Amino acid sequence: MSQEEHPHLDSGASQKNLDSNDLAAAIQKAALSGKFSEAEALREQLMKTDPVNLKLIVSTGQIIEEQKTKLLDRDHLAVWNVLYDDLSEEETNGLFYSMESALVESNKLLQVQGKISSRLFFIDSGKVVLFYRKEGKNIIAAHLGRGDIVGESSFFEISLCPLSAATQAETKLYSLTRRAAEGWQEAHPGLYEKIAEFCRKQGKSTEAIRASELDRRSTRRYPISGVAAAVVLQKDGSPGDNRFKGGLSDISRSGLCFDIKCSRQEIARALLAAEINLSLVFDGREDSPLRLRGQITKVSFHLHNDYSVHVKFVEPIAEATFRTLPCTWPKDEESEDKS
C-alpha cells in the first residue's frame, strides 16, 4: 500500500496521534470517496488503538459496507443475480471488490490447455470459445457467453487447464485470482465454498470436458497394481531432491494415475506441472522396473491426506510393451491377446 495511494497513512506522528473520533471521521471520508482499502486500513488502526470502543468499530464497518454496496456494478449484479442472491451483503462486497473488471478484445486467450492458471472469469457480455488441440488442429468443445464461467476446473482443483479459452468478440468480464479468494478465510469464511458450489452447478467446462473425453484421450486407461516412485526434475532436467511414491491406480499408453499421502494442500499444489522421472514396479512381477518420464497434469484431493497424482508421459509406451503389463484387462481384450 503506497503513501501516494493513501495520503492519510503517513508514517509521521500526526497520524498516530489521531483519536478514535478523528479516525472514524477519516474512515467515513475515505469510504464516501470510494477509497475502501484506505478506509479498511484506518479501521484496522482504530481496532488496534481502541479495541473496546465496539460502537465505533461496528458503525465504521457498516459505513464501509454501505458505501461498497452503493458503488456495486448493477449491470454485473443483474447478470449474476443467481450467484449474488445466495450471498450476504458482506459476502457480495467481498467477492465484487476482490475481482478485476476488464474489456477484452476479440481473439485473446484467457487460458491455455496444459498450462497453469490461477484465475476464474465471469463473463458479463461477449463470446468465448473453449477448445483443445488434436493432431495439430483446434477442436471446439463449447461456446460461452453472458452469464458463463471460464476456468473453474483449474481454479478449484489442482489441475492444469484442461481446455483453452479465447474471446470471439469484445468481451466484458470480471476475474478473480486464487490469491484474492484465499484472503477470504478470515473476513468471509464460507464464501469460497459458496462460489465453488455455484461453479459446480453452473459451470459448463466440466460438461464440455466430459462430452469431448473420448476425443481428447487417445489411449484407454486400465486398472493396475504396483508402486510408482517419482523424482521431480530440476529445470535443467537433472533429478532433484523431491522424491515420493504411491500405489498405482491405472495406466494407459499415454499416462497413469497413482495415489499418495500429503500433509498439506500447498505441497500437493506445488507438484502441478512438474516434470518427473517414474520407476514402476508391478505386483506379482520380479522383472526390472519400467522407467518413464512425464508431467503432472492434475492432483486430486480425496479424504484426509489422500491425493491422486495424474501424469502424462512425454513419450507413449510402445504398444508391444504395454500389452505385456499386468493390467486388469477387459474380457474382450483378454480374448484378443490369447488369440
| pLDDT at position 164 | 96
Q: Which of 65-79, 105-119, 193-207 has the lowest average pLDDT?
A: 65-79
Quick check: helix, strand or coil at residue 321? helix
Quick check: helix, strand or coil at residue 258? strand
| pLDDT at position 215 | 46
At a CB cut-off of 8 Å and minimum separation 6, what does 209 contact?
141, 153, 162, 163, 216
Segment 288-302 mean pLDDT: 95
Closest CA to 259 of 216, 302, 307, 220: 307
Burial class (CB in 10 A: 0-12, 13-18, 19+), 113: middle
pLDDT category, 42, cuts 50, 70, 90? confident
Contact yes or no for 186/143 (Cβ under 8 A):
no
pLDDT category, 256, cuts 50, 70, 90? very high
Residue 6 has pLDDT above 60, yes or no: no
| pLDDT at position 9 | 46
| pLDDT at position 217 | 53
Spatial separation of the C-alpha atoms in residues 32 and 121, rounded to whole Å = 29
Residue with grid cell 489422500, as numbered in its chain = 306
Segment 130-153 mean pLDDT: 93
Contact yes or no for 77/99 (Cβ under 8 A):
no
Q: Is 266 left (phi over 0), alpha (psi -120 to 50) or beta?
A: alpha
Segment 143-150 mean pLDDT: 97
Q: Cite the beta strand spans of 193-314 per DSSP E.
A: 222-223, 226-233, 239-251, 255-261, 275-282, 290-301, 306-313
Residue 39 has pLDDT above 90, yes or no: no
pLDDT category, 213, cuts 50, 70, 90? low
| pLDDT at position 338 | 47
Q: Which of 13-17, 146-150, 186-190, 226-230 has the lowest average pLDDT?
A: 13-17
Mean pLDDT, the chain, as a whole number?
88
